[in-house]
Amino acid sequence: MQFAHMIRRTVETVLVCLMSAMVALTFADVIGRRLFGTPIFGAHDLTEHLMGLLVFTGLPLVTLAAMHLKVDLFDKCLLHPRFAWWLKMTTLVTAMVFAVMAWTLLGKAMNAATFSEVSQGLNIPRAPLYGWMAACAALTALAALYTAFAPPISNAHDQEELL
């Protein structure tokens, strides 16, 4: 479990760095645009790539901790022990959706590599980004399968505070 904790901390650190880079880039671009009339060239391309990396890198961790955004209108009914099958079924459907997403993104990565697809402004190759997104979606599918049959992996700081 120590190794899993180390991996989690490393991924969380990478996510913080990605988010900080996005904030710094957006801040510098807005300041340059508003004060000096000169935006950062390619800021849109970089923001697109950073956003894709940020979202897909975080998905496996969110799924393992079962911290997805949830609407709890029917929790009183559906969290009853006799509806445990419902929770398993929705988790398995989630795993299937992410598996299909991984497969689709893998195809997109292979097409992007074949056609040398690049971003519009900076000509950043898209195939590695799509490949990373496919790998993260596949890991998310595995994480969803894990949470279907085992309790979510979470730390004390993941728990919601009660009012």
Q: Are 61 and 8 in contact (CB under 8 A)?
A: yes
Residue 162 has pLDDT above 50, yes or no: no
Burial class of residue 102 (count of CB atoms within 10 Å of its CB; 0-12, 13-18, 19+): buried
Query: What is the Cα–Cα distance from 65 to 157, expressed in whole angstroms?
Result: 11
Domain boundaries, given as residue ranges, for the chain: 2-155
Residue of 46, 34, 56, 70 whose CA lies nearest to 143:
56
Q: What would the two tokens of residue 107 be? A: 């195809």
Q: DSSP class of residue 8?
A: H
Residue of 31, 57, 35 whose CA lies nearest to 129:
57
Q: What is the tens place of the pLDDT at every residue in 79-99? A: 667 777 778 888 899 999 999
pTM of this structure: 0.82
